[in-house]
Amino acid sequence: MKVVKFGGSSLATGKQLEKVFNIVTSDPSRRIIVVSAPGKRNAEDEKVTDLLIASGLHAMNGESPQPFIDQVIGRYRDIAEDLALPPTIIETIKDDLLSRVNGSQSDPEQYIDTLKASGEDNHAKLVACYFQMKGVHAKYMNPGDAGLIVTNEHGNAQVLPSAYNKLVELRDCEEIIIFPGFFGYSEEGDIFTFSRSGSDVTGSILAHAVKAELYENYTDVDAVFSVNPTFVEHPKEIKELTYREMRELSYAGFTVLHDEALIPAIQAGIPVQIKNTNNPAAKGTKIVNSRDNTNGPVVGIASGGGFCSIYVSKYLLNREIGFGRRLYSILEQYGISYEHTPSGIDDVTVIIRENQLDAEEENHIIEQIVSELQADEVNIQHSLALIMVVGEGMRHNIGTMARAANALAQAEVNIEMINQGSSEVSMMFAVKEVDEKRAVQALYNEFFQPASVLTV
């Protein structure tokens, strides 16, 4: 059986829902359908989720949420009218939405999460209604009834391992299941949303739970690109990549799939297929456990800005057992997680996401490192970008680093930092943010332009 997830743009209009219906019903093994809230119909449009958040914030501010609620209901109504659905479905959605917006605001995060989650929840009801109207044996499934129990973290909920014991029963459901993405319920029965792209998480969890043969993730691109298409025109599509490659690419800014959404599917060894709702004939990108390394050492290049480095030096640092641990404890006191820690002999640099620090905190941290660790020098460099060059087996391909470093030198990009050798599937470069685009272009040209591809 297959778990199939559709993104917001795939479910934004009645016309889109018809495509979804055709896709689902063209393969009888598509048994569990995870739906997002209606997304944008065009570049200027607003996502239903954003309208729901706005309504909640206005209500908490003592202002009327009604204009936003009206817009949300309007979106569902448009779709329902396009598809000639019975008007009762809009009444159902309206009642649900009003009970949420008029609910308790005593816990603001709970209030917002409950509202946000309605985007998916109500759309799942609408989609189920549509499928039923078309004569398909389908039903809406509430995540709480299905047993999707999560941790009490608003906007960052994690599935509890015990949830899988109940979710596995979805296998035995006779109907096609229409399951809302993005949220689960705490053990106390409250709604908690997942992080960004949370519908991907839901699909991934359900695929794990039912041991799906495939987790299909329908979005609005034909495939995952090998590089950010705003940096390189018409970049190559990736036909197949491994979980590890995907994860490394996601880390530094690939946006097709949510950074950590795949983890539950990965844990169960379930392949993931990225497909395009608007062009289901396109092969898409398959994410698998292992792949043949037949098209060069590099499968993709990702990058992202917003990093900074904290440099700490002290004579004889490498003789001091515990220095690193004490340094990281200081960062931990400020709730700072770090990404990488390249080191010299008498120095260590800690790479962190810049948004974790404000100027005041920065000064406190520097002072504390100097005073507690007797560091000789501490300084912070801002506005760095990390570039990940990713490819399975790359590590044992002699000369890959030389090609990458050459390409950057030719493009006159200074390499601020290299971290290579822990992961077998990536090389990481830090460059100044202003050099990011040029660096990525140079690396792409080196590894993906026809002259450089070893085997096609």
Residues that bind a copy of itself (CB under 8 A): 247-248, 251, 260, 263, 266-267, 311, 315-316, 318-322, 324-325, 328-329, 332, 335-349, 395-396, 398-399, 401-402, 404-406, 408-409, 412-423, 426-428, 430
In the complex, the smallest distance separating the C-beta of residue 359 from a copy of itself, rounded to whole angstroms, is 22
Q: Where are the beta strands (DSSP E) in 113-228?
A: 138-140, 176-180, 183-185, 191-193, 214-219, 224-225
Q: Are 60 and 314 in contact (CB under 8 A)?
A: no
In the complex, the smallest distance separating the C-beta of residue 242 from a copy of itself, rounded to whole angstroms, is 13
Q: Which is nearer to a copy of itself, 57 or 336 (CB)?
A: 336
Q: Are 310 and 322 in contact (CB under 8 A)?
A: no
Q: Which is nearer to a copy of itself, 72 or 386 (CB)?
A: 386
In Å, what is the CA distance from 306 to each residue of 49, 185, 250, 433, 439? 26, 33, 15, 8, 16
Q: Helix, strand or coil for residue 267?
A: helix
Q: Which residues pair with 353 in a beta bridge?
A: 307
In the complex, the smallest distance separating the C-beta of residue 351 from a copy of itself, rounded to whole angstroms, is 9
Tokens of 381: 């460099």
Q: Name the nearest CA neighbour of 11 among 23, 1, 2.
A: 23
Is residue 219 part of an annotated ligand binding site? yes
Q: What residue has token string 């004569």?
A: 135
Q: Which is nearer to a copy of itself, 257 or 266 (CB)?
A: 266
Q: Helix, strand or coil for residue 185?
A: strand
Q: Which is nearer to a copy of itself, 321 or 359 (CB)?
A: 321
Q: Which is nearer to a copy of itself, 133 or 366 (CB)?
A: 366
Q: CA-CA distance, 419 to 386, in Å (whole number)?
A: 10
What value, to the nearest 5°, has the Cα angle with vertex 152 and ends 149 and 157? Answer: 70
How far, rounded to the nearest angstrom, does the alpha carbon of residue 77 sit from its chain's CA centroid?
A: 29
In the complex, the smallest distance separating the C-beta of residue 344 from a copy of itself, rounded to whole angstroms, is 3
In Å, what is the CA distance from 286 to each residue of 211, 227, 301, 391? 17, 16, 17, 15
Q: Which is nearer to a copy of itself, 173 or 417 (CB)?
A: 417
Buried b (16+ CB within 10 A) or exposed e, 131-165: bbeeeeebbbbebeebbbbbeeebeebbbbeebbe
Q: CA-CA distance, 352 to 224, in Å (whole number)?
A: 27
In the complex, the smallest distance separating the C-beta of residue 422 from a copy of itself, rounded to whole angstroms, is 4
Q: Which is nearer to a copy of itself, 296 or 324 (CB)?
A: 324
In the complex, the smallest distance separating the C-beta of residue 428 from a copy of itself, rounded to whole angstroms, is 8
In the complex, the smallest distance separating the C-beta of residue 355 from a copy of itself, rounded to whole angstroms, is 15
Is residue 376 part of an annotated ligand binding site? no
Q: Which is nearer to a copy of itself, 62 or 399 (CB)?
A: 399
In the complex, the smallest distance separating the C-beta of residue 341 from a copy of itself, rounded to whole angstroms, is 5
Q: Which residues are annotated as a binding site?
A: 219-220
Q: Which residues are annotated as a binding site for ATP?
A: 219-220
